Structures are given as structure tokens and as C-alpha cells.
Structure 1
Amino acid sequence: MSEAPLTISDRIQEKLDDLTRAERQLAHSILENYPASGLGPLTALAKDANVSVPTVARMVQKLGFKGYPDFQSELREELKAKAKDPIEKHDTWAENAPSEHMLNRFTDAVIDNIRHTLGQIDPKGFDEACALVADDQRHLYIVGGRITHTLAEYLFLHMQVIRPKITHIQSTSNTWPHYLLDVKEGDVFVIYDVRRYENNTLKLAEMAHAQGAKIILFTDQWRSPVHQLADISLSSRIVVPSAWDSAVTTMLLTETMISAVQNLSWGDTKERMEELEEMFDQTKLFRKFT
């Protein structure tokens, strides 16, 4: 199976080290409000980034485009992909599906997603996110969306064992004021939000940010609007030959975070795990094969 095409965001991340200071300034400006930032006139983009018009022209060529119109055309295609509903996404794959068995095609897509994601993730940013999650002096809040709530619950169940002071915020927005009532400056929110981004999730992030909370965002390659508020964004490639996006790469980052946080606080975590096992024995929740 051929590799998924690189997004403009992917290309920018790959080229960052090769850009001049002004071009890097422009790149960061584009990524701040990606992909909408590049849909206006060239002069407007240059003004927003506080760079010259020739700087914009040079950078789009470094990204592999003949000129700014080609750059904008690609952005518009990405916006179409970003807004696709499940039926439209399935039609796209059906038209171009190769003849190999679905087991192989799907696995190829997932492996490609993992490779691209790990090739572009910032290890320092990931470590900083894990350190924030491990800091039990900060209350930890975890929330997901209509589908990603399953990932949020998975992280929550593990973090319950690893550390105290943790809350799983349910997806229904009418309960959020109760959770937000006790949020203190420096508390940590882990938020899951992938395409078909949810308005309720953005509103929660805005309210938490206003109260001084740190935000760690798990999102996709196009990035949720929440990324503008996030202290750290962890983006995953999610496209597979399916009517639904894949959660595999996001789950990989989630499980890696669980492992890293466990290691950062192993002394306390070990004690909590031992206490929990004693409780399990008392309740006879699990069968013993001895």
C-alpha cells in the first residue's frame, strides 16, 4: 500500500531545521491557526507573521510547491478531508482501494500512521507532558469526546492506580461546572479531541484555561482548535481504510504516557498497587489460580 500523503503541517515539521529565522517565524505562525492561516492573500499571511512577502514565497517553494496558489490549493484539499463525515470518507477509500486483504491494508495504514507520528513528535514535549501528569501536587482532570471518551477512561483507570487527586470528567457538558468549580491554577487537564472536533470540548478547554490550568491535548494531524490553548499538543496520524478514523496511534501515545508516568513515580505507585491488590483479594474480584 502506498504511503498516506504528507500534510502541509507534516512538511513544515520536516523542514523546520532547514528554514531561516524569518521562515521559521512564518512556519510557526502558519501552524498556530493551521490550516486556515494560509487561506487568505499572500500579503495577509506575511503581515500576520511579521515577515516579508518574498519570505512567504521562498518558504512555500521549500515545502515543494511551485508557488502560493499551489500551496493554497493543497490547504483547501486538506480542509475538505478535515470536514469529511464517515460516509464521505468511506467513499474515498472505496474508489481507491487496492485488492489486498483488509487485514493487510488496514495494518499497513496503521504502521504508516505510527511511523509518521513518531517521526514528528517532540520527545521533549512528550516528556514535559508526562512530568505534568505525574506531578501529584497538581489535580489531574481527564476528558474525551463522543468516541475518544474510551481513551480518556483508559488513561483515567491507570492513573487512578498510579497517583491520587484525579478526576474523570464525563462527556456531558451540563455537569462541567461542578468539575470546574474546584480547578486551581496549575492543575492539569488531559483532553482528547480529534476531527469532527466537538464544540463542548473547546468550551471546556477555554474555561479551564481561564482558570490557569495546564492543558495537554491528544489530537490528530490537523489539530483540534483546542491546540491554541494547549501547553502541549500530541498529534497522531489517524487515517485508515475505514469509515472511521483509527485510534491506534493515539492509544500508543496514551499507553506510552502511562508507562512513563508510572516510572517517574514508581515508589509511590508500587505502594498504591500493593494496597489495591490487597483490596482485590478481600473482595475476591479476581479468581486465584493457585
Structure 2
Amino acid sequence: MTDAAQTISDRIQEKLDHLTRAERQLALSILENYPASGLGPLSALAKDANVSVPTVARMVQKLGYKGYPDFQSELREELRAKAKGPIAKHETWAEAAPSEHLLNRFTDAVIDNIRLTLGQIDPDAFDEACALVADPSRHLFIAGGRITHTLAEYFFMHMQVIRPNLTHVQSTSSTWPHYLLNAKEDDVFVIFDVRRYENNTLKLAEIAHARGAKIVLFTDQWRSPVHHLADITFSCRIIAPSAWDSTTTTMLLVETMISSVQNLNWDETKERMEHLEEMFDQTKLFRKFT
């Protein structure tokens, strides 16, 4: 019997690291277009994922189903459950736009991303990651990639205020190995890596891991190769009706972590913020209206 509180997507995520190469290829194909990918015939699903029909049969059994019909039956139950609540269904986020307008479709996708991501996060693991990041005795390194460098910069800017002893690793630069010269055992690396996974980021993680550093990874639902080196991984759903992936769920976790770390170090953070505000006043960086 499967756990009724879990979605099929949840169960696939749990099993990802224990699947064969072909089964993992199938799983990622299902997640890519979930839930529509599982509604067609078994042979169509196998063809779309470029795997054999027996591979599909084996994987659904690994997920806890007797066969593909049981798998599809539960998937349809998920869809029926989501369709309940006609009043809520009638209301849209942008009320002036039709429900099929991109404003509403994109918002629906992002909210689904948040719900599915939070449903898979272990609160204890999140608290552990925050404690690692908050520990000023550990040097904190923060690294992102071609797109995710914006998330890394945002996180770094806040950590600069909250705590000392940190480095923003410019992983897209050819000089990034210089940043690792001072990395030592039990330092902390916060790494952002989503598809298309970057070779520089993986190599950085490999060197950090070899030096005994702790790695906290923010990635997508398919998981960066850095996942195999990370002490704690947060898999964020990023699918949206766009040519670009959505960073909303990842930003939600980043801002939540900022808040948690701030609270863990509040006395020191408050003092640092007061000093920073004094410097802002001296430099007249911001306008004052009083």
C-alpha cells in the first residue's frame, strides 16, 4: 500500500537515488510534464522517455503499485482532488483577467511548485542547514551559476549584514579556484545549481568536499550532480509556463533561511545592522525625509 498523504511526485522524488539509470530517465521524464505525462498509455510513456515498456512496469512497482493501471488510477485521484472546490476554482489571482490568462496560469504553476517543494522538505534538515550557515566560526562560501548567481548574490548580501567570515565565490570566473585556497574542514559552502548543471559548480563542490567542507545545495527537482556530495539538499520545483524556469520557490527558501539565520544570531546581527546604518548616515547613501 502507498501512503495516501503523498503524491506520486513525492514518491518519485524519494526513490530517485535508488533507481536504475533507465528508471531514473523515466522518472525525470514523468516529472518534466507532471501529471499529464502519466495519463496516456504505458507504451506512449515509455516512448516519450525513450525507455522500454518493462522499465515502466518495474518502476511503478518500485513506487508501490501493483501495475500501471493502479498507478494511473491514483494519478487520476490526485487530479480529481485538485479539481474540488468550485468556488475556489472560480476565483482567479488576477480577477480582471480570464482564468486561462498567463498571469493566472503562471501563478497557479508557482503555487504548485511551492506546495510540492515544501511537502518534501524535512524541517529538521532545514534547521540544521540554518545552524551551519549561522555559525560564525565556520567560513561561509556562497556560489551560484550563470542564472543562479543572482540568488547567490542576494543571499550573500544579507549574510554580510548578519555575520562575518564569508566569501562570495564568483563561480563563473576563471579565477574561482583562488577562493578555495583558504577553505578548510567544516567550513560551509552554500551552492546554487539548477539545470543546465554547470561543470565549474560541480568541480568547486568536489574540491570543497575533498577539503572536508559542509555543502548545502539548492537545486531543482531533478537534482544537480552536486547532490551526491552535499550534506543537505533542497530540491525546489522550477517548472513554469515559460521558456525560463521559475526561481520563486528557491527564493522563498532563501528568504526563509535568511530570516532563520538572522534570528539565531540576533544580538550580533542587531549590532552589525546598527553599525551599518551609522555608515549609511555618514555616506548619505539614502535620502532621509525627516
Q: TM-score, normalised by structure 1?
A: 0.72
Aligned partner of 2:123 in structure 1 is 123
- Describe the shift of the 1:33–1:142 C-alpha distance in structure 2 as closer, same or farther (beyond 3 A): farther
Alignment match, 1:152 = 152
Asked if residue 107 in structure 1 is aligned to residue 107 in structure 2, the reply is yes
Q: Kindly tell me: are residues 285 and 34 of structure 1, through their superposed partners in 2, closer, same or farther at Cα, counting changes over 3 Å?
A: farther
- Give the deviation of 1:62 after TM superposition: 1.1
Describe the superposition over 1:19-53 as per-residue Cα deviations: whole angstroms up to 9, x where unpaired.
xxxxxxx77533999825989xxxxxxxxxxxxxx
> Partner of 1:78 in structure 2?
none
Cα displacement (A) at 1:219: 0.3
The letter for the 1-side match of 2:19 is I
Alignment of 1:19-34 (within 5 A): 29-30=18-19
Deviation per CA, 1:43-68, whole angstroms, max 9, x where unpaired?
A: xxxxxxxxxxxxx789525157439x
- Per the alignment, residue 135 of structure 2 pairs with 135
Distance change >3 Å, CA 132–CA 61, structure 1 → 2: closer
The residue that corresponds to 1:185 in the other structure is: 185
Give the 3-state SS of the residue equivalent to 1:120 in structure 2. coil
Q: SS at the partner of 1:219?
A: strand
Aligned pair in 2 of structure 1 residues 165, 246: CA closer, same or farther (>3 Å)?
Answer: same
Separation of aligned partners in 2, 1:37 and 1:241? 22
Contact 1:33–1:228, Cα closer than 8 Å, also in 2: no
The residue type equivalent to 2:190 in the other structure is V
Partner SS, residue 289 of structure 2: coil
**Which residue of structure 1 aligns with residue 24 of structure 2?**
35
Aligned to 2:278: 278
Amino acid at match of 1:235: S
- 1:234-245 residue pairs with structure 2 within 5 A? 234-245=234-245
Give me the whole-angstrom Cα distance separating, in 2, the residues matched to 1:239 and 1:57: 23
The 8 Å contact of residues 30 and 37 in structure 1, kept in 2 or not, is answered as: no
Q: Equivalents in 1 of 2:197, 2:285: separation in Å?
A: 38
Aligned to 2:64: 62
Q: Number of residue pairs matched?
A: 230
For the structure 1 residues 279 and 196, does the alpha-carbon distance in structure 2 shift closer, same or farther, using more than 3 Å as the test? same
Query: Which 4+ stretches in 1 moved above 6 angstroms?
Result: 31-34
Q: Distance in 1 between matches of 2:127 and 2:63?
A: 33
Greater RCO, 1 or 2 (C-alpha within 8 Å, sep 6+) = 1
Amino acid at match of 1:35: R
CA shift at 1:120, angstroms?
A: 1.1
Deviations 1:222-279 (A, max 9, x none): 1000000000001111000000000000000000000000001101000000000000
C-alpha distance in 2, partners of 1:227/1:34?
Answer: 18
Q: In the TM superposition, what is the alpha-carbon distance from 1:177 to its structure 2 partner?
A: 1.9
Preserved CA contact (<8 Å) 1:215 1:231: yes
Which residue is equivalent to 1:10?
10
Q: Secondary structure at the match of 2:230?
A: coil
Answer yes or no: is the 8 Å Cα contact 2:110–2:240 preserved in 1.
yes
Residue aligning to 2:215:
215
How much has 1:146 moved relative to structure 2? 0.3
Q: Using a 3 Å threshold, how does the CA distance of structure 1 residues 279 and 100 change in structure 2: closer, same or farther?
A: same
Q: Normalising by the residue count of structure 2, what TM-score does the alignment of the two structures yield?
A: 0.72
- Secondary structure at the aligned position of 2:153 is classed as helix
Matched with 1:79 is none
Over aligned residue pairs, what C-alpha RMSD do you find? 2.9
Where do residues 76-95 of structure 1 align in structure 2 (5 Å cutoff)?
none
How far apart, CA to CA, are the structure 2 residues paired with 1:37 and 1:103? Answer: 31
**2:224 aligned with 1:224, yes or no?**
yes
Q: Give the distance between the partners of 2:217 and 2:21, measured in 1 at CA.
A: 14
